[in-house]
Chains A and B, each alone.
Chain A
Amino acid sequence: GAGVSQSPRYKVAKRGQDVALRCDPISGHVSLFWYQQALGQGPEFLTYFQNEAQLDKSGLPSDRFFAERPEGSVSTLKIQRTQQEDSAVYLCASSSLDRGHAFFGQGTRLTVV
């Protein structure tokens, strides 16, 4: 596709449930970023990949959060045993190495009830 695609767009999870959020970056983009955005706040960095290598995961808030990009394209952000404070919009972005600026998806809005 032409842009970064995220699915699902909306997810409602019961507290304690595991969720998986998918990101399809722009074809050929080497870099991939995940962010968490709470209501009224700026995006908070979670993790960053170059190809399949996870170069920085310092923003993941706990060991319940896990991200992978096994073949260097599609990425999945997994949250185990979801809690109410995990409710947020999860944004994915990708960029090529030569241009540097990132393109964002529309995000997945996660609501934990």
Chain B
Amino acid sequence: DAKTTQPPSMDCAEGRAANLPCNHSTISGNEYVYWYRQIHSQGPQYIIHGLKNNETNEMASLIITEDRKSSTLILPHATLRDTAVYYCIVRVVNNDMRFGAGTRLTVKP
């Protein structure tokens, strides 16, 4: 029971920004938005998380709307190695964590 909605697939040109949307209209006040990605045959990898403020780290930026009902993960300069399935998850910190189907991002040369 994932609580998030993501497009099943997206394409992005190498070197361009990849913007991956996520809807979480039923998010609760104490739930964070987490993003993970999974490259083929590997375990999921943490990317970033946030509560209500926008966040940036060395991998990506996370933009959360003011009403917190949606968010966007931004990979500023996508490379071929960013091809993966990206998962958006909402959860209370230190509570269980449930994945949806994710977005399959394909970065094309």
User: Which A positions have Cβ atoms within 8 angstroms of B?
Assistant: 4, 30-31, 33, 35, 41-45, 48, 50, 55-56, 91, 93, 95, 97, 100-107
Q: How many pairs, one residue from A and one from B, have CB atoms within 8 Å of each other in the complex?
A: 51
Query: Contact at B46–A45, with CB atoms within 8 Å?
Result: no
* Residues in B whose Cβ lies below 8 Å from that of A30: 94
One of B10-18, B65-73, B74-82, B98-106 contacting the partner = B98-106
Question: Given the interface contacts A42-B87, A93-B43, does A55 sit within 8 Å of B101 by beta carbon?
Answer: no
Q: A42-B85, A45-B98, A91-B44 are in contact. List 5 more A-B contacts (CB 8 A).
A: A43-B44, A56-B96, A101-B34, A102-B97, A104-B45
With both beta carbons as reference points, the residue of chain B lying nearest to A58 in the complex is identified as: B96
Query: Contact at A91–B43, with CB atoms within 8 Å?
Result: yes
* Residues in A whose Cβ lies below 8 Å from that of B96: 33, 45, 48, 55-56
Partner of A104, one of B43, B94, B100: B43
Query: Contact at A105–B101, with CB atoms within 8 Å?
Result: no
User: Which B positions have Cβ atoms within 8 angstroms of A?
Assistant: 2, 32, 34, 42-46, 49, 85, 87, 93-102
* Residues in A whose Cβ lies below 8 Å from that of B95: 48
Tell me what chain B mostly uses at the interface: helix, strand, loop, or mixed.
loop
A91 to B46, CA, bound (A): 14
Query: Contact at B43–A100, with CB atoms within 8 Å?
Result: no
Question: Given the interface contacts A41-B101, A42-B101, A42-B102, does A106 sit within 8 Å of B42 by beta carbon?
Answer: yes
A44 to B98, CA, bound (A): 7
* Residues in A whose Cβ lies below 8 Å from that of B87: 42
Query: Contact at A104–B97, with CB atoms within 8 Å?
Result: no
Q: Sorted from nearest, which 7 A-B pairs have the closest CB atoms?
A: A104-B43, A100-B93, A42-B99, A48-B96, A101-B46, A43-B99, A104-B44
* Residues in A whose Cβ lies below 8 Å from that of B97: 33, 45, 48, 93, 102
* Residues in A whose Cβ lies below 8 Å from that of B45: 104
* Residues in B whose Cβ lies below 8 Å from that of A95: 94
Partner of B49, one of A33, A55, A97, A101: A101
